[in-house]
Structure 1
Amino acid sequence: MIQRFIELGEGYGDIYELRELIMNNRSRFMHGFVFHTKDMDGKPVLSTAAVFKPAVQGNFMPIYICREGIPENSKRLEIFEQTVEALGELPIHMDVKHSAIYADRKFYFSHLISVLRLNHYIPPMQ
């Protein structure tokens, strides 16, 4: 199974797109994540992500993310949490490293996929 992050943006207007993806694919929705980190100035910022089950045909598990543009205690975070809770789930909060410490964003996303697998939030590599 291919598990891949799809970056929607940095959490500004794209948080509303993520909300729509969750609501319109509620039968495929698995988990909502809030990744906590600090930007290069040491200020706390958040990423929100949603994991979906693979489509009926295909072997692709998408993980949509709004990366590192949401301040703590913002209205955008509240919207995301309310959306996840409306589906009977609780958002999963995790502390992660900032993506800027990785040489390439693909390494950052590979690291996050490994963390999600190790914590059994997504299935292991097949």
Structure 2
Amino acid sequence: MALAKSFVFHAVRAVRICEHGASQLAIDRQQRRTFLSSMRRLVEVRDVNEHGFDAVRVKSRPKQHLHEDHNGSLDETSMVILGPEQILMGPLNLWGFYRAVGEMRDVAGFRSLPLPGPAISLT
């Protein structure tokens, strides 16, 4: 869980860098927009994990999300690993975000772990 939350935090940090530091990045505008678009839903999960229990912020409260495919539900602060490509956190499968971050790392010149399989077995 700590690794997943760290991934979410750092992926959202990359989003903020792409949003606020676009003029400083040597990344094609369309590639940056595609990355930002693909990460939009991850920002909400990060906000709940970082601020979900703050007394002042009501917008970022944890909510139960049904995963009909897996006959279960969990909130943004919970995680279930059902396989190497099914890492559920709140309403999301983190696998798709891992792929998007990997593509941006390739564009930026930082290679991520090889795909399609993970570096370690999760089963």
For normalisation by structure 1, the TM-score amounts to 0.26
Pick 1 or 2: higher relative contact order, CA cutoff 8 A, min separation 6: 1
More helix by share: 2
More strand by share: 1
For normalisation by structure 2, the TM-score amounts to 0.26
